[in-house]
A and B are shown apart, each in its own frame.
Chain A
Amino acid sequence: GAVVSQHPSWVICKSGTSVKIECRSLDFQATTMFWYRQFPKQSLMLMATSNEGSKATYEQGVEKDKFLINHASLTLSTLTVTSAHPEDSSFYICSAREFETQYFGPGTRLLVL
C-alpha cells in the first residue's frame, strides 16, 4: 500500500528558531499533499493544501508567512515553522493524495521551549 513518511518524528527547539518538517510519499507520486495540526485531545485541523509546482492554499486563520510550505517535487513537501514559539508546539501530520484517498504520515511532534 501507499506509504507516507515524515522527518523528523519529533523535535525540540528553542523559541525563535525555525524548524523544517519533511513529508515524503515513498512509493507513489503525489501532486497534492496536506498539512494538519493536532493539539492534545483535539481534532486534526487542516492548515494548508500543498500543490506541486504552485503556491500552497492556506486555511483561514493560518499565517502563510509563519508556516512556509514548499512542494518542490512529486514526492516531497516541506513545512517550515518560522520563528517558532511555545504556542506552536503541536503534533503536525501530513497526508498525500493518491487518486481518491489520502494517506497519512506518522506525524511530527514539535516542542518549542
Chain B
Amino acid sequence: KQEVTQIPAALSVPEGENLVLNCSFTDSAIYNLQWFRQDPGKGLTSLLLIQSSQREQTSGRLNASLDKSSGRSTLYIAASQPGDSATYLCAVRPWDQCGSEKLVFGKGTKLTVNP
C-alpha cells in the first residue's frame, strides 16, 4: 500500500529565505508526482507535476525534483515571500495496471513566511 510522508509538518521562515520541503513515498511504482498548495479552508492549487520519467520541473521560484528509486521528492522555494504561506501537499499517482487515477496524498507541510 502506497504511503506518502511529508517532513516537516510545519515550517516557519523569515522572508527572503530559500527553503526545501520534503516528500517520501513507499512504493516507487508511480505514474507521476504532484505538488499542490492549499490555503486555509480552500481547495487545492496544482503547482508542479513530475512524470515518472522526469527528474525535475520548474515554475518561477519553484523547483521540484523526483528520485523515484529512493522514493523521494523535494520542493524548493527560492526567495520566499509572505504570500507563499500555505500548506503544501505532495501526492503520488500509483502505477496501477487497472488504470486507476487515484492520488495518494501526504499530510502536508504548513509553511509560514514571516515579513
Contact = CB atoms under 8 A, between A and B. Distances in A.
Q: How large is the interface on B (under 10, 10 to 19, 20 to 34, 35 or more residues)?
A: 20 to 34
A102 B102 contact: no
B49 A101 contact: yes
A43 B101 contact: no
A34 B107 contact: no
Interface residues of A, number: 25
Contact of B106 (A4, A43, A102, A109): A43
A23 B73 CA distance: 31
Interface string A12-34: 00000000000000000000101
Contacts, number: 51
A100 B44 CA distance: 16
B7 to A, nearest CB: 14
B105 interface: yes
A43 B4 contact: yes
B26 to A, nearest CB: 14
Given A43-B104, A44-B103, A102-B46, 18 more contacts: A6-B43, A32-B101, A41-B107, A43-B89, A43-B107, A43-B108, A44-B105, A45-B105, A46-B102, A46-B103, A49-B100, A93-B43, A97-B101, A100-B49, A101-B49, A102-B103, A103-B46, A106-B43
Interface of B: 4, 32, 36, 41-46, 49, 89, 91, 100-108
26 contacts: A6-B43, A32-B101, A34-B101, A34-B103, A41-B107, A43-B104, A43-B106, A44-B89, A44-B103, A45-B105, A49-B100, A91-B41, A97-B101, A100-B49, A101-B46, A102-B101, A102-B103, A103-B46, A104-B36, A104-B45, A104-B46, A105-B43, A106-B42, A106-B43, A107-B42, A107-B43
